[in-house]
Structure formats: C-alpha cells, structure tokens
Structure 1
Amino acid sequence: MAPTRLRRTVASATLCAVLGTTLLTTGPASLAAPGESTWTPDLAQITEDDANVRFTGGALRLAGEPVRAASAMHDRDEGSLVLAAHELATPANRIAATVDATVPGDAQLSVDVRGELAGGEWSEWTTAPAELPEAAKRVEVRIAMVNSRDGRSPEVRGLRLSAESGPQVAAEPRAAARSYRVYATREGLVGGTTANGHVIKSRDHFVALPSGKSLSPKNTGTYSVKVCTASRCAWAAVWDKGPWNIKDDYWNPSAQREMWKNLPQGKPEAQAAYQDKYNGGKDGFGRVVQNPAGIDLADGTFWDGLKLSDNAWVTATYLWTGTGTFGTVRSTGGGPVNVRNAAKSTATQVGMAGNYARAQVDCQVTGDSVTGSQGTSNVWFRIHAGMYVPKAFVSGVASVRAC
C-alpha cells in the first residue's frame, strides 16, 4: 500500500494509511507562548530521554534503532517523543490534536496526552482527542510511532494542539492505590531496549505493564508499582510494555479499558486467555498465551528485590492510581536502594526500591544517620508496613507525620 499523507484532526487511537482525510494544514513548527489554548510544538526539540526518534528533512521519524517493547512482534521497531510540558492560560480537560503526517503501509502513529492533576501527579496517557480526568493547567504530549512491517517509518511534519474546557464526567474518587493479585514473569532481554528507550542492564530494576497508558518517560518514575510477595516488596518504575499485550490497562475500570472491556477490573487479558480460553486463548497479537502474566519484572526486581527463583503470583499496587504523599527514590550510584525492616543500616533487608521509582510515604521515624543523594539525615520513611528507607535517598518529601 502506498504511503498516505495525513492532515487531520486525530480521532482514533492509531492513525493508519486508510484514514487519510484533509481537515487542517498546520503551519511551520514553532514554539507558542505559554498559556495559549492552541499551540504548535517544536518537533525538533529531541532530548536523550526520548526513544528512537530523529528530526531530519523537516519531519520527525524513527531513528532506526531496535527499540521494541517486551510484548511487541519483534519485526517492528517503535519510538516516541515526549514534548515539553505546556502551560495553559486556564485549566482545560479536553485536548485535541491536528497532525500533518505520512503513515506508510501498516505503520502506526498516535498522539497521546496527559495532564497534571491537582495533587501534582500526572494522569495516564490518553490518545487525542483526550478527555482528562480533571481540568489541568499543564499538559504533556507524546508522539508514538511504530514502523511498517517492511521497515518504513511514519513522518510527522507538523502538529497543532488545542485545549478547551467542557463538561466533565464524574471521576472515580481517588483514595488508596489499586492493588491486584497478578502473575509475574521475568523479562530478561539484557542489552535490549525498552519501549521508553532504556537500554536494559544486567540485574536491572523496572517493570513492564501491558499498556502504554502507564509508560514512564525514560529516567522518570511517573508511573511506578509496588510489587510484593508474602515477605518482600520491590518498588520499580514502569519502563516497558508487556507481557503479552500492549493495550490492556486492566487496573482501570472495565468501561475505561483500551480493549477487553468485558473483562473484570484487575484481570489481565492474558490471565483470562490462559485460564478461561478468553479470546480463543490468544493475546492481542493472535499468539497462544502460554502463561497468565500481567506484569514483567526486570531481572534485578525479580531476583534481588523479591528473591524470586521462578514466575510467581504477586500483589501489584499501581501507585499513580492513589492519593497520598509520594517521594522519588534517588540513589547515589544509579542502583537500587535497600528497604529494611527497621530504621537501622544493619536491619534485615526486606526489599529494594529502584532508582527513579516512586514510593508512597506513610510516616517517618528516627534511626541511623545516613548520607545519600539528598544529604545526611537520621530520618527514615516507612513505605510499607514494617519496611523503611532512609530519607537521604528520597526526593520530594520534606517531612510527614511520625509513625
């Protein structure tokens, strides 16, 4: 199929070659003044934290590196550009996008949006036209691309965003973060590149979830999970998509799921396919599901954080779905921080928190003095019942109530 040139308002989750309709031609890419309700971002502003994209010949396209999510069909590369946050003049809950692009063959292109919520957290990524869970003054936009099976990349020449306020559907009250019992598998793939552009290291600390709605940009922990066994917990940022599916945000209410809306909230499609022969026992790619996995764990999270020796059922808590006081783990050497069962450096290690992971801080106690990335302190934060980390390794939290 020949490439199709698109100049259209984005109205579906994926732009593909059969959807070319001319609605609006965007002008040259330029930076808009802060606060405007319509703005045209600069697509050439690519940083090292973006994944497998380059701007050449007046267009944004894939850079040709092998960036493939854990669950992707491995003959196709992908990439993404996360644009700088844009400040609106007034809060808005509806964001639309108009794109000038060429999408060859069966390549894929989407424009995703998220908003900064009242508590400072970010909403999940939603494909434009996006309805945010609440009106936001700051929004971010992500351009995500997948090449065609014959290796051709989408080309994006221009993008225009517009924001407006409209009636809001009453959102589900946010309280405790959602937790579900899911089957965890080890990702491995050392030396490969995750969906957000991170090169996987030996004994790495991150997780994969089967939806891009919760994919953290590289070197951030915007979306992080707490994964627990009966005796240990690990905290890790979501840096990859998988296992099995890439459009299965099963932690969200059924009606809000990208796909598989007739499954109960908290049940991954792969689990339903494996246990109940849902979808003929196959995943979203048509592969026969060989295990009920709902989360993939990087080797360090699997072996060192949780001390697993085989795939296992765990309790996963999707921390961005709840409210509370959250801090970001920042180690001094880039590795994980030990989680202990008391506020002492010699206390038993009962888990690990990966660098950049977010953790909910319940309360604080006084313990051993520790020097870390945030200075020297004798304060320790409790981040789970009976589990503590030094304040010296947690940014973004000044103090909380005493335990």
Structure 2
Amino acid sequence: MRYLLPLVAGAALTVGLASPAQAASNEWTADVSGHAVTWGGSPRTGLIELGSHRLAQPANAVTAAVTGDGVVDVRGLRPDGQWTEWLEAPATLPVTTSTIQTRVVLSSGKASRVKLTASRVAASEDVSVAAAGRSYRVYATREGLVGGTTANGHTIRSRDHFVALPSRRGLAPNNSGSYSVQVCASNGRCEWAPVWDVGPWNTKDDYWNPSSTREMWKDLPQGKPEAQAAYQDNYNGGKDQFGREVANPAGIDLADGTFWDGLKLTTNSWVTVTYLWTGSGPVGTVRTSAANGTVNVRSGANSSTSQVGLAANYAQVRVTCQLTGESVTGTQGTSNIWYRIASGKHIAKAYVAGVSGATSC
C-alpha cells in the first residue's frame, strides 16, 4: 500500500521545446504558461513533461531558471537510444549527449517560462558493467488505490500492471516503459512492468543508485531503501523523509495485477527487483491490444510450456538472446522468433516492438 496523500487527477501534457524548423542550440526557452498539469503525490506536486531538444554541441551539464513556481528535471539520450534517469537541474548527466528532455515539477501555483543552458564539464561517464542491470532484494507491498491517479497521470484500473518506486528519477511517462523493472518472487514467477508511480514512503530515495549519487540518504548502502533502514535499524529515528513512522520496510509498491496475477502473491513479500534502465544490450517494448493487457512469459519458446510470469503493456524488456520456436501472431505481426529475457523466461517476438541486435541463443 502506498503511504502518500490522495492524488488529484489531472491531464497529462507533452509540449515540444523546439520544432524541426528551429536551429539546434545549447540555450533555449520553453513557454509553459496556461498548460494543464498532472497533479499528485505527497507532498502534492504537478508534472509538465516537455519535448526533447536537440543541442548544437554535445553536453553533459544543464542549468535551468524557472519563472514562477517549480523546479526542472532533465535527462539525456544515451548512445543506445535509451534515456538517463531524470535529475533535478542544475545537473551533471552521466553521459555526454546531443538530446535533452525536460519536465517541470510544481509544488504550488504554476510556472510560465523555463530557460535552459547546456554545457560540457569534466565528469565520469556512466559505464554499465552488467547487461541485466542492477538488482536488489527489497520488500514489496500492494498499492491498490483503484480509481486513483498515479504520479504520471495514469488512472489506476482493476488488476492493473505497473510499479511505484520511491523516487521520481525513475518515473516513466504515462503509456511509456522508458523506466521498467523486472520483479521476481521467491516462487520463481516474474513480471516486467513500467514505473508509473512514486512511493512507497519516500519520494527522493533512489536506493538502486550508488551512494555517492543518491538523492538523499547518502550514508546508506546502495540497494537498501530508506524505509527498510528506518524499519529494521531505526535509521532516521524510524521515520521517512516526511517524519512519518515507517510501518514496513517497503522499497517498491506493486499494482494489483502485478501483485496477484504476475507474481501470484497473497501477502506483502520480499522480491528481487532488476532496474532495467541501469543495464545494457538489446531492449524491446511489450505491446498488447488491450491498454491494460499483458503477455505470457513462458519457460520455453512455445505456448505449451509453462507460464512463468507476465510482461505488461508498455514495459521494456532486456533481450538476452533470441531463438526459433512456435509461430505466434500478435500486435507486431506473425513470427516464430522468441526472446529470452531472463534465465528460463521467454516472450514471443510477435508482442515485442523495437528489438535490434539480438544474438542467437
């Protein structure tokens, strides 16, 4: 269960910063006045996600000035076509990039204009050492809240499939899986799901990152959520960042469908979470015909093999390799290719878009 204040529904918005006719530049301005905002969270915040901007010169540092209320998050496009995490400006990105995306985070009122400047500074580049991404064992709770609105503007459905993490650094836009996780239970079942909400407990606890770059709680070991440390070790006096008494060690919230159908859980449990955007290698996006749909993950490259989990619509999956199996017809056409997305876990290519460079198993 997410321990945040009730969310207030709003309309999601994507605003382009620059049209194709505009020249690339390292200084640019976005007019955001009068646009709708997606409100939610605790404390109550609003998000306006802006379009990507092409730089004249590659850069890894961004500063921002806001006219009105709010702060600015930025992220950069990686060489592999994936995005870095969102960082609050001024920010030094983990890669040098030619494309920046921006979002405005409001605490009250509204912003009217944002001016941004990108530059190049000396900094260490982020080199992923594990193709599968960082993986940690954390405590999972069921979010519920059907009919409510997530931090990215998604209206929560019955048996929904997404997760919440306690930092907006890994918050994907609605109907996007740019930040997705692989979450596996001790029963061997896994689900691949997008990160569409912020929680539980904290909102600035990117515990999966190295302590040196962690937004808060830099004295905690990498992979240990603040709520877990507060609950188990009386860290921060047993309280979260808002001063509330922490009642469980949760580091991830699971939507009902992820909890009940994907993992077959019956109670809050310890799970193993892989934060897929921290990895490398071929990646694809799951697409189903139903907005709330899922695709079966099988133990082999055939629909007659056992179902060992689910992959949610819009979730990204990391492809270990591909193999020939049963011919399947899905949203991406008909194919006898299956992707291995974890040991003993396979998904039909017919439901996965955008994979490039996968090798044979």
TM-score above 0.5, yes or no: yes
**Alpha carbons of 1:31 and 1:179: their partners in 2 closer, same or farther (altered >3 Å)?**
closer
Letter in 2 for 1:329: V
1:356 counterpart (311, 314, 322)? 314
Shift in Å at residue 62 of structure 1?
Answer: 4.3
Match of 1:90 in 2: 57
**Mapped contact 2:262–2:309 kept (Cα < 8 A):** yes
Q: Which amino acid aligns with 1:362?
A: T
Aligned to 1:41, which of 6, 13, 30? 30
> Percent identity among equivalent residues?
57
| Aligned residue number for residue 163 of structure 1 | 118
How do 1:3-402 and structure 2 match up within 5 A?
31=18, 33-43=22-32, 55-56=33-34, 60=35, 62=37, 67-69=39-41, 72=42, 76=44, 78-101=45-68, 103=69, 109-147=70-108, 154-171=109-126, 173-176=128-131, 177-230=133-186, 231-334=188-291, 335-398=293-356, 400-402=358-360
The residue type equivalent to 1:40 in the other structure is T
Q: Which runs of 4+ in 1 moved over 4 A?
A: 29-32, 60-63
Alignment match, 1:47: none
Distance in 1 between residues matched to 2:298 and 2:224, nearest whole Å: 31
After superposition, give the CA deviation of every residue in 1:356-386 in whole Å (9 maximum; x if it has no partner).
1011101111111111111110111111111
Unaligned runs of 5+ in 2: 1-15
1:156 is displaced (CA, Å) by 1.1
CA distance in 1 between counterparts of 2:271 and 2:31 reads 43
Higher-Rg structure is 1
Cα gap change, 1:294 to 1:401, in 2 (>3 Å): same
* C-alpha separation in 1, matches of 2:75 and 2:139: 28
1:34 shift after superposition: 3.5
Given that residues 321 and 360 in structure 2 are in contact (C-alpha distance below 8 angstroms), is that contact kept between their aligned partners in structure 1? yes
- 1:399: how far off? 5.5
Count of aligned pairs between the two proteins? 341
Taking a change above 3 Å as real, the CA distance of residues 116 and 62 of structure 1, as seen in their structure-2 partners, is: closer
Alpha-carbon separation, structure 2, partners of 1:354 and 1:260: 31
Letter in 1 for 2:76: G
Shift of 1:266: 0.3
Measure, in 2, the Cα distance between the counterparts of 1:337 and 1:289.
35
Q: Deviations over 1:230-256 (max 9, x none)?
A: 311100000000000000000001111
Tell me how large the CA RMSD over aligned residues is.
1.7
Instruction: Show the counterpart of 1:8.
Output: none
Counterpart CA distance in 1 for 2:166 and 2:226 is 9
Distance (whole Å) between structure 2 residues aligned to residue 275 and residue 30 of structure 1: 45
User: Match of 2:8?
Assistant: none
User: Secondary structure of 1:366's match?
Assistant: strand
Aligned mates of 2:353, 2:215 — CA distance in 1: 33
Alpha-carbon distance between aligned partners in 2 of 1:243 and 1:132, rounded to the nearest angstrom: 26
Q: 1:92 to 1:312 in 2, by over 3 A?
A: same
Q: Is the 8 A contact 1:234 1:352 kept in 2?
A: yes
Deviation of 1:61 (Å): 6.4
Q: TM-score, normalization: structure 1?
A: 0.82
* Residues 352, 93 of structure 1: alpha-carbon distance in 2 compared, 3 angstrom cutoff: same
Q: TM-score normalized by structure 2? A: 0.91
Secondary structure in structure 2 of the residue aligned to 1:289? coil
